[in-house]
Structure 1
Amino acid sequence: MIRPSLALLLTSLALAAQGPKRAAPPSEDAVIERFRAFSAPRTVAQRGPLSAEERNTIRRFKEARGSVVYVSAIAPFQNLRTLDITNLPTGAGTGFVWDDYGHVVTNLHVITVEEQGRRIGEAPELQVTLTDGKTYKGKLIGRSFAYDVAVLQVFAPLEAMKPIRVGSSHDLEVGQNVTAIGNPFGLDHTLTKGIISALGREITTDYQTRILDAIQTDAAVNPGNSGGPLLDSAGRLIGMTTAIVATKGEGSVGVGFAIPVDTLNRVVPRLIAKGTLEPPRMGFVALDAYRAQQLFGITRGLVVGQVDPDTPAARAGMRGLVLDAKGEIKGLGDVILGYQGRAVENEGQLMAMLEVEPPKDEVVLDVLRDGKVIQLKLDLKARRALPTRI
């Protein structure tokens, strides 16, 4: 009997323990190429019908989108190096068709021109783009500084402008579903959805006035949504999106505010009919902020340009610009710095104060004259019919 050597026996045992020899795994490229052969469209998974809530949202959006417009403000700017003047967009936002006569409602701040964060007036050129993508000229015909509301006359075919359905805001409830349609960041007719988060909020406008009974919503509202409609689940206008609480990124954090439609339904018809809310007229004309800065370097207060004779301003001794025989400006007159003890930064702020709290008999203005601040008392009791100015 032949006995295997010990070394051979150990080798055999080791090979048996290792089992059959395994093949090397395929390379990554081989795996990729192998599975390319299985490329094909996926089978579509079937779904049930849309929910009643989804169908309602879709229907209401389709009904309302034709009433929502894109508003662009354009103003001339001068190149200080070449002195060339170019028309450039200064702002954009949203608006909605109010009635059958070509009127569009938006926020006043949407069409405002600002320079270094300071308001210098409304844009001289307005463009309104309808749902069909066609753009038409718009003209500002009514404005309220106190409520941050502007009404535009749009020169488009009336049959192309669909008035929005108007609801009410006095009977809203926290928790109701709402939708907002707007043009955030220029993305036209964007729909966002949420609920009414709170009612009865107070928001501060760009003109340092407060709007009462504002609607708070968590529907996403971003820059460009201003002036757009906030709708209830019936597709009715219940507010105009106006402001947000923003982080440093200027985006939505789920806290947006809308002017209630009951306020709009009271203010807008008056703006269409009269152009303003008709605060009492004092009888002076102020230079716009841009000219005041260009001519005199004044960036705060109202530079009085002209005082109408036989008006409260004239009887109080208010002084306008000093002019020569040719009508050229020779010197500065009065600069209004305060109204009833409150600082006045610009014309819009003063107009807003007059709209919110119309004075009855007498007002006191703080005026800078010849380097000194004095007070002028304007008696409004005996005012007569005055021109349409402050």
Structure 2
Amino acid sequence: MEHSSHITHISTTHDDGPLLDAYSRTITGVVAAVADSVVHIEVKKKSNDKRNKGQAVPAGTGSGFIISSDGFILTNNHVVDAADQISVSFTDGRRVNAEIKGKDASTDIAVLKIDDTGLKALQLANSSQLQVGQIAVAIGNPMGLQYTVTTGVVSALGRTLRANNGRLIDDVIQTDAALNPGNSGGPLLNSLGQVIGVNTAIVASAQGLCFAIASNLAEYIAGQLILNGQVRRAQIGIGAQGVNLSNRMIAANRLSTPTGVYVYEVIPDGHFNNQQLIKGDIIVDFEGNPVASVDDLHKLLNFSRIGQRTQLGVLRNGHRVNVEVIPGQVTL
């Protein structure tokens, strides 16, 4: 009786190696290009303890990154909020004092200024062009003398996140690139080394849920903080997020953009008039300006709109209608 045995060989190709090498080269290239622009931030606050009351004591750390050659640094508001002393450390060991140029609790964005020049600034990408599934690289400098790197993909776009002051941050990127302790305020980057978001939070109760403020919103907020020291903005009292429109809706209503802003909450308040808006409306127009994203709405709701009658074009049950709102000033 003959016994025959069949041995199955797992075939390997030589393509896997170059693919992995290409991915590795992409990540290492990003790290090499941006690491010197990512900084460690150390915060001290005055102590209320009886033994050292009034003295500045360590109160937390975070990360940030250079956005201009003359010393502006972008980070999270919660990293530097209520700080009495702030120091910034670079990967080469340099340590300098920093001051708060402006901070905005409503988007968890803050801008610091250091007395230095000739710094290498990171480039901010256009976050409206992001796609779910593209590479995301999170870099932080939690220890001050070395950086940490995690990689993943953009998991979702247009998420909302509640800021520490209770307001919703509407334009948030979800990523599975893990955020290590101290990485808050560091950059989330694409494969070209451009900043697509500012790392801001991790949901402790869920695995792999990390969030970043989209670069377009962060850039707008940073510009306002640098110019004015604060963000003066109007509000219409809604919770909203970006939404894709069907081809039928676009054609029937002759819209110029494939997206709009979906209203999932209307908040009653005496500071503004939004009674004509209802939950489920999709905002597509603001005083004749197309509204394709929450970014658009944030920019159009500037300080000059406070108290002004404003016409919004909304899709309601698939049909375009005009409604009137009177924005009020954001109360921080």
1:272 shift after superposition? 0.3
Q: 1:134 deviation in Å?
A: 1.0
Q: Find 1:171's aligned residue among 129, 138, 147.
A: 129
TM-score normalised by structure 1 residue count: 0.55
- Give the Å deviation of 1:221: 1.0
Distance 1:89 1:111, change over 3 A: same
| 1:105 alignment partner in structure 2 | 74
Aligned to 1:54: 24
2:329 is the alignment partner of 1:360 = no
Matched, 1:195 2:153: yes
Conservation of the 8 A alpha-carbon contact between 1:222 and 1:244: no
Q: How does 1:3-152 map to 2 (within 5 A)?
A: 51-80=21-50, 82=51, 85-112=54-81, 122-152=82-112
Deviation at 1:87, TM superposition (A): 2.1
* Cα contact 1:185–1:223 (8 A) shared by 2: no
Matched letter for residue 210 of structure 2 = G
CA distance in 1 between counterparts of 2:176 and 2:137 reads: 10
Q: Judge conservation of contact 2:43–2:80 (CA < 8 Å) in 1.
A: yes
Query: Structure 1 residue 255: deviation in Å?
Result: 0.7
Query: Partners in 1 of 2:225 and 2:133 — Cα distance?
Result: 32
Of 123, 126, 140, the match for 1:182: 140
> How far 1:212 sits from its partner (Å)?
1.4
Aligned length in residues = 233
Rg comparison, structure with higher value: 1
Deviation at 1:356, TM superposition (A): 7.8
What one-letter code is carried by the residue in structure 2 that aligns with 1:95?
G
**Distance (Å, rounded) in 2 between the aligned partners of 1:61 and 1:175:** 20
1:79 shift after superposition: 3.5
Unaligned ranges ≥5, structure 1: 1-47, 113-121, 281-338, 343-354, 363-379, 382-388
1:158 alignment counterpart: 117
User: What's the secondary structure of 1:95's corresponding residue?
Assistant: strand
Answering whether residue 154 of structure 2 is matched by residue 208 of structure 1, we say no
Q: Deviations over 1:90-144 (max 9, x none)?
A: 11101000112210010000012xxxxxxxxx11111011121111010001111
Q: CA deviation at 1:361?
A: 3.9
Letter of the aligned partner of 1:147 in structure 2? T
Could you tell me how far apart the structure 2 residues matched to 1:130 and 1:185 are? 10
Going from structure 1 to structure 2, the CA distance change for 1:171 and 1:279 (only over 3 Å counts) comes to closer
Structure 1, 57-66 or 70-79: larger mean CA deviation = 70-79
In structure 2, relative to structure 1, the CA distance for the partners of 1:190 and 1:356 (3 Å cut) is farther
CA RMSD of aligned residues (A): 2.9
Looking at structure 2, the residues matched to 228 and 356 of structure 1 have their Cα atoms a distance apart, in angstroms, of: 28
Gaps spanning 5+ residues in structure 2: where? Answer: 1-16, 235-267, 272-299, 309-326
CA deviation profile, 1:4-44 (whole Å, cap 9, x unmatched): xxxxxxxxxxxxxxxxxxxxxxxxxxxxxxxxxxxxxxxxx
Aligned to 1:368: none
